[in-house]
Amino acid sequence: MINVLATNITSPLGFTTEQNYQAVLSGSSALKRYEGLWGPAEPFAASLFSEEQRTALTIEGYTFFEALAIRSIREALTHTHLDLASERIVLILSTTKGNIEALGEERYYPSKAAQRIAEAIGLTTKPIVVCNACVSGLSAQLLANHLLSANVYDYAIAVGAEVQSKFIVSGFQSLKAVSEEPCRPFDIERNGLNPGEAAATIVFARNADGERWCLMDGATCNDAYHNVSPSPQGEGLTNAINAVLAGQDKSRLATVCVHGTATLYNDQMESKAIERANLSDIPLSALKGYYGHTMGAAGVLETILTMRATDDGIILPSKGFTEPGVSGKVSISGEPKKTDKRAFLKLMSGFGGCNVAAMYEKTKDYRQRTTGKAKLVKAHTIKLSSEDGQTLTDIYKQQIGDYPKFYKMDLLTRLAFVATEKVLSNFPLKGEDKKPALILFNHSSSIVADRQFFDTICDAENYFPSPSVFVYTLPNITTGEVAIRHHLCGETSFYILPDKDEALMQQILEASLAGTDTPTAISGWVDAESETCYECELTLYNIINI
Amino acid sequence: MEQLINDLKLQIKEALNLEELSLEEFDENAPLFGDEGIGLDSIDVLEIIVLLEKNYGIRLANPKDGRAIFQSVKTIAEYVQANRKK
């Protein structure tokens, strides 16, 4: 459990949390239809900054993505008095594609962008990038909770940011997931999501005085079902909600702020999970009708808005919703509602099969979570590299051979897949060990798949964005593939660091597993820069919670 | 028609990285989905849609329309024959 010190939302609807809240309260939406933007992409509705706004937010020497994150953090920090140079503050950046427009340059690397942002703010510690596709914004907050609760840091700045581009839009269009009209979460007429751009920041503290919003607890559970289609019964999301609400009084919840992307499958799945978790009577709020899907920013932005509205005694209306179009029993409305409750649940689900639930409460009854410590015992380690003289395909053919899906995977996923096979061939998971955590780290994100996908969209005369390649441009798809192969239904996370900092990786792993009932974890470094330059070191750990 | 079926088999095998499926084994009447047949999934369908646009100029906006078309290589070939623009 950690405290919220300050927040900011910087979006096309305003540059502060208050401006955004007032805009949403008055029913504003930044969603507009765009045609002919970014070359051959088909028409789409999106929430994008205007030229005027872009100019106002630009900071010379930084990309727009970096500037957006810096602006959001700086504004949030004006409400605090932190010693930014302290080694007890960490920056956690949540994004799906960061500086993707700089592919081919040094600043493409997400950790590079994070370092530039951290330095601009005046931080001196190494930033951590969370790349868990759509759930990243909640994952970043959960990581803040882990690291602060484990006393690794006193403060965490969780910033989510996304700038839209031809790369992202053409990818989601190739998946037939984008709507030309403003999106309609949970509605019978819904036909897809709208890309959105924004940055949002929450400054968390380990200890703070007074009555504040607190992140009480969170959980991440993988579907281990499919990398793009969610489990039809909402298996992972139901597990995540149940884990967070275990022992909690559900009647304290004012609302459940859903993911609600307005794709057919996501909203249907969420409705199932909500019904299965016995939350059918709690009013939902789906906020993508105001901002579209702001991807890496969404989990942070929607959490902040829900805090602000709950402070005001209001459950925000789900803009775009009129008639129910899901089969799970849910309470959702296009009209605002009053509430006197002080807690809510936030849900996110995304590609790679990951689902996150987190509970927030406004309280002055603040108790430091006593998580205990996780002791990690190495059971087995596997190292693979491009120097080995044996290709991954050779290893697959000689030692694995029973999973033709291997040939569909990108290089990064093949690397993690082969390494996991080798780790688990020596130490197979037992039945009761089926909820191990899978926590991977790298530096080069999904650069190989990013280059491959870029090749399918860069030539206007030969513009055929490949859906199967695009999927792998989210590095956490790697964790999803391994989860499917081994039916891993526990936490799956993908973090990007400036370098292979084993001490930091160990801290993140220990903090993430402390106080959980996770019996084992597979974790390590999985980095693929090219066919001739890759490196992987994966370890199977047994976990003893003390 | 036979030529078209063979072309499609090759294109599908390549686009979907069906490495272990030999063209000889690739039965044009076998169902493309489900455990009984080739075992394709929803992303594979989207990739076949791209392939049809790229090679035959056929635009299929809504993947839901594809259910009848994508039963087997044979049904895809018949659809391509009737609708191809190149």
Nearest to A468 among B21, B43, B54 (CB): B43
How close does chain B come to A406, measured CA to CA in Å?
Answer: 9
Q: Are A173 and A196 in contact (CB under 8 A)?
A: no
Answer yes or no: is the ipTM higher than 0.90.
Answer: yes
pLDDT for res A370: 60
Mean pLDDT to the nearest integer, A332-350: 97
Extract the tokens encoding A108. Answer: 């493409």
Higher pLDDT, B62 or A540: A540
pLDDT tens-digit series, residues A288-327: 999 999 999 999 999 999 999 999 999 999 999 999 999 9
A44-47 and A31-34 beta bridge pairing = antiparallel
Which residue from A minimizes the CA distance to B20?
Answer: A404
Above 70 in pLDDT, residue A329? Answer: yes
Distance from CA of B39 to the nearest CA of A (A): 11
- Please give, rounded to a whole number of angstroms, the shortest distance from the CA of B6 to a CA of chain A: 22
List the single residue in B17, B46, B54 with the smallest CB-CB distance to A467. B46
Helix A411-426 with A477-486: angle, nearest 10 deg:
30
More confident call, B24 vs A299: A299
* A400 and chain B in contact, CB less than 8 A: no
- Please, which residues have CB within 8 angstroms of residue A436's CB and are 6 or more apart in sequence? A429, A488, A490, A518, A519, A520, A521, A522
Q: Which of A269, A220, A316 is nearest to A22 (CA)?
A: A316
With a cut of 70, say whether residue A368 has pLDDT above it: no
Average pLDDT of span A407-417: 97
pLDDT reported for residue B63: 64
| Per-residue pLDDT tens digits for A40-65 | 789 999 999 999 999 999 999 999 99
Residue of chain B whose Cα is closest to the Cα of A456: B50
DSSP letters, A470-491, are: HHTTSTTHHHHHHHHHHT--S-
Best mutation target, A466, A469, A474, to test chain B (most B CBs within 10 A): A466
**R_g of chain B, CA atoms, integer Å:** 12
pLDDT in tens, A1-39: 899 999 999 999 999 999 999 999 999 999 999 999 998
Instruction: Say what the pTM is.
Output: 0.97
A-chain residues near B35 (CB < 8 A)? none
The answer, for A368 touching chain B at a CB cutoff of 8 Å, is no
pLDDT in tens, A448-462: 999 999 999 999 999
- List, as ranges, residues 64-83 from B with C-beta within 8 Å of A: none
